Chain A
């Protein structure tokens, strides 16, 4: 029995490690070790432990904070904790019977008994708890469960898990109010969940406080879902592959009226996401509707296949590793007034010429997990796009944590604006394409204001057709007061791979894993 239970040891001192390792080896429990809270969080998220033994005075993230973070995460909320401290402490959210608190010195035999009891309690909680129905999707298909909940007019949350994937369907008076599957929700999420043939489900009766996001009646919705899933399965050969790159042959700003809403959305999205898979992911319509629309538009030559040079395709599937993402999150937490509010940090963009921010945004759209803010006037390119401010896109790290790209104006006397909007700043990107003295002085003033609030990694990107000459570069460095640790890159607007590498390096600098000391003029 002991062999199945992997224990995460998050302790401060080497002595504690020696003692606990001896104890765990005697009791035949496998274990992993972390010497600080951040590492412990990373390990817990990486592989779900059966128990976390944590020292309350853990470095980086304290034991009680680690407990709060993991308990609030649905993935780790069921993991019992064993706290070790020199004195009694109040731990918010402590679950008597499941969690254990011991003060030094302690008896190993007694500790072993308590751990066994904790395992039994948490297993019972998982077995019984407040769940009314639970089981495997391989035995009872989701559609049957939803019909049963509909017939019984149930209210509550149906949670579904399939490997690392998580989904939920919210039901009130038997009607489906909303569904969530990863980052998507509503009908699209529900239709995806209905394709799950294995995995587990559990229904928790509870009073729902949310508004209805799925408008169709449950019976009609389920029938439509089954029709679309059948069609999707039958037409899979006719639909384009998710890795196909596509572009538009028409001006999306001058589309005729009266088209289906899904067409407008698909055509607009293709401008930002050339990969079919990304369009499907970001479109609010169901997968079948999007696939069939793309196929129709390709047939009618409204969309075209794009040929991208092999060396410009980003082959990596993630921009930052989980460890770096955790470190960035720690930075964000330390900048905010309240830990639980911290779910995004900003990378500010100062650009010397109006359209540079837009060009950069479109170059970054190929980065994995990067989403362009299609509502931003900078991205959509309205009449005044050249002089606007705001969020142009964001990159998802993990959980709800995001790093957003925030463009700022380069007008004179913008100091108060920059100060007010750089509260949770993580990094600064300066875009330039000329060394006009007035522009340089404004860029310098903006940079100084931002860095006076907080010292963050800075990258300078020359967005031009050709690399700047060394004389121009020197002029720029002098004008901007470029420091040794600030990198300067030269980027062409079509070089997505290079943009990815620059962004990846900036995130690395932000995470503090590698603070750059050498200046790179071009990669």
Chain B
């Protein structure tokens, strides 16, 4: 009897071929989604537009303690798909990629818009991660034609990024529930050195002088100006805001750019426009101890925190990992109740 039940469970769970088991009319099987993806690629090529895919991967249940059983996963996917379909636009398509993976095709969606879609999805599905079955869900994306030239390649990129994201410090240090300053403290407080991130020191007798931060910010602004047509976002934490800072005069000379630039400094809560940039003055003393820069655009990501450790010496953390940079930007916007944007 038990054997028969197991067999039934196995045969019942060929989701890739028959998505009707999920019971959602807007969920398509892998054949349909592949065909649709190919058509979307042709359409985007023809109209010179971009589209994105998002892969939702169910890694585990109960905070990583339990590998999802087939039956449990099926039940969970029903909730996940139902919630996902409520969040996405009418033109977006949901389908089954593999048993633990749901794929979304988002027509006319560029890189940054797909990141916003992931934020929305993560928020809508947050209840699954904080209540039963305490699921660990990983989101990844890929955009045509930025990441790949064909649909199959695009899905492969998005699938590869699931692993990249799981290997990222973001998941390894479990930053999901942490606040911006908690993340910053964790990053600058540890001795880290791996491919995309490392800690180092500036000032005093170290390799790099204090002025490194200022030069770095100027260099990033130069990149923004050179690359003014590329969409991006830049936050520069400069401790205390002052009109005399050289970076402010650099900002005045910047013409129109597609990068949203914000200067963050300690001060009375208010917003101020400096040319095409915005100065955000926040009444938070933690800003006085830390320089930070978070820069994300379609081609690159860079984030740096420099904590004053002793007089002129600063302990710094920097990264080129887009997942951490994006997460830090998101947390910063949430913690200071800023407009969520990318």
Stretch at the interface among B27-35, B219-227, B268-276: B219-227
Please measure, in the bound complex, the distance between the C-alpha atom of A202 and the C-alpha atom of B301, giving whole angstroms. 45
User: Which of A341, A388, A404, A415 meets B211, CB within 8 Å?
Assistant: A388
Dominant SS among interface residues on chain A: loop
A108 CB within 8 Å of chain B: no
A421 CB within 8 Å of chain B: yes
Q: 1/0 per position for A385-427, CB-CB distance to B under 8 A?
A: 0011111000000000000100001011111110111011000
On whether the beta carbons of B320 and A416 are closer than 8 Å, the reply is yes
Please measure, in the bound complex, the distance between the C-alpha atom of A469 and the C-alpha atom of B323, giving whole angstroms. 48
Please measure, in the bound complex, the distance between the C-alpha atom of A89 and the C-alpha atom of B197, giving whole angstroms. 46
Q: Which residues of A contact B300 (CB under 8 A)?
A: 420-421, 423
A259 CB within 8 Å of chain B: no
The chain A residue with its CB closest to the CB of B197 is A416
B196 CB within 8 Å of chain A: yes
Q: Given A338-B146, A341-B229, A413-B199: A92 and B301 within 8 A (CB)?
A: no
Please measure, in the bound complex, the distance between the C-alpha atom of A217 and the C-alpha atom of B230, giving whole angstroms. 36
Q: Which residues of A contact B209 (CB under 8 A)?
A: 384, 387
- The number of chain B residues touching the other chain, given as a range, is 35 or more
User: Which of A344, A389, A411, A416 meets B319, CB within 8 Å?
Assistant: A416
Please measure, in the bound complex, the distance between the C-alpha atom of A92 and the C-alpha atom of B218, giving whole angstroms. 38
On whether the beta carbons of A420 and B302 are closer than 8 Å, the reply is yes
- The number of chain A residues touching the other chain, given as a range, is 20 to 34
B298 CB within 8 Å of chain A: yes
Q: Which residues of B contact A336 (CB under 8 A)?
A: 299
Quote the shortest CB–CB distance from A331 to chain B (angstroms): 15
Q: Which residues of B contact A96 (CB under 8 A)?
A: none
On whether the beta carbons of A416 and B318 are closer than 8 Å, the reply is yes
Q: Which residues of B contact A413 (CB under 8 A)?
A: 193, 198-200
Please measure, in the bound complex, the distance between the C-alpha atom of A89 and the C-alpha atom of B43, giving whole angstroms. 11
Quote the shortest CB–CB distance from A192 to chain B (angstroms): 23
A106 CB within 8 Å of chain B: no
B286 CB within 8 Å of chain A: no
On whether the beta carbons of B208 and A411 are closer than 8 Å, the reply is yes
Q: 1/0 per position for A143-179, CB-CB distance to B under 8 A?
A: 0000000000000000000000000000000000000
Quote the shortest CB–CB distance from A157 to chain B (angstroms): 19
A49 CB within 8 Å of chain B: no
Quote the shortest CB–CB distance from A451 to chain B (angstroms): 14
On whether the beta carbons of B146 and A390 are closer than 8 Å, the reply is no
The chain A residue with its CB closest to the CB of B207 is A411
Quote the shortest CB–CB distance from A464 to chain B (angstroms): 23
Q: Given A340-B229, A423-B300: A90 and B46 within 8 A (CB)?
A: yes
On whether the beta carbons of A388 and B215 are closer than 8 Å, the reply is yes
The chain A residue with its CB closest to the CB of B199 is A413
A457 CB within 8 Å of chain B: no
Please measure, in the bound complex, the distance between the C-alpha atom of A347 and the C-alpha atom of B7, giving whole angstroms. 61
The chain A residue with its CB closest to the CB of B211 is A384
Quote the shortest CB–CB distance from A63 to chain B (angstroms): 13
B87 CB within 8 Å of chain A: no
On whether the beta carbons of A92 and B208 are closer than 8 Å, the reply is no
User: Which of A341, A391, A411 meets B200, CB within 8 Å?
Assistant: A411
Chain B contacts to A: CB under 8 angstroms: 46-48, 111, 145-146, 193, 195-200, 206-209, 211-212, 215-216, 218-219, 222-223, 226-227, 229-230, 295, 298-302, 318-321
Q: A389-B219, A416-B318, A421-B300 are in contact. List 4 more A-B contacts (CB 8 A).
A: A387-B211, A388-B215, A411-B200, A411-B207
Chain A contacts to B: CB under 8 angstroms: 89-90, 92, 336-338, 340-341, 344, 377, 384, 387-391, 404, 409, 411-417, 419-421, 423-424
Which 3 A-B residue pairings sit nearest by Cβ, starting from the closest?
A411-B207, A420-B302, A420-B320
